[in-house]
């Protein structure tokens, strides 16, 4: 398994421990997680758009240097 799979297994084990210790909190976390994810989705989309815009500005600023390096 990769790091992503290891993280998923760890999250599941932590949730199982929470289920044994305090099952109402574990069920609430299970129900609220998708709602929180949906609320944060617009912020992720804005972050992707801002990252793309900054990458474009950086490419335009460094374009003359790349052209000179190609010629030389």
What pLDDT, on a 0 to 100 scale, did the predictor assign at position 2?
66
Domain of 44 in residue numbering reads as 3-71
Residue 72 has pLDDT above 80, yes or no: no
What pLDDT, on a 0 to 100 scale, did the predictor assign at position 5?
80
- Provide the domain count of the chain: 1
Q: What is the mean pLDDT of residues 47-54?
A: 97
Q: What is the mean pLDDT of residues 36-57?
A: 96
DSSP 8-69: HHHHHHHHHHHHHH-HHHHHHHHHHHHHHHHHHHHHHHHHHHHHHHHHHHHHHHHHHHHHHH
> What confidence tens digit (pLDDT) does each residue in 9-19 have?
999 999 999 99
Residue 71 has pLDDT above 80, yes or no: yes
């Amino acid at each position: 398994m990769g790091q992503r799979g290891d993280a998923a297994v760890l999250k599941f084990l932590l949730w199982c421990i929470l289920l044994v210790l305090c099952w109402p909190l574990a069920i609430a976390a299970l129900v609220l997680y998708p709602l929180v994810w949906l609320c944060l989705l617009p912020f992720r989309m804005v972050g992707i758009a801002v990252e793309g815009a900054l990458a474009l500005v950086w490419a335009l600023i460094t374009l003359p240097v790349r052209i000179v390096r190609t010629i030389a």
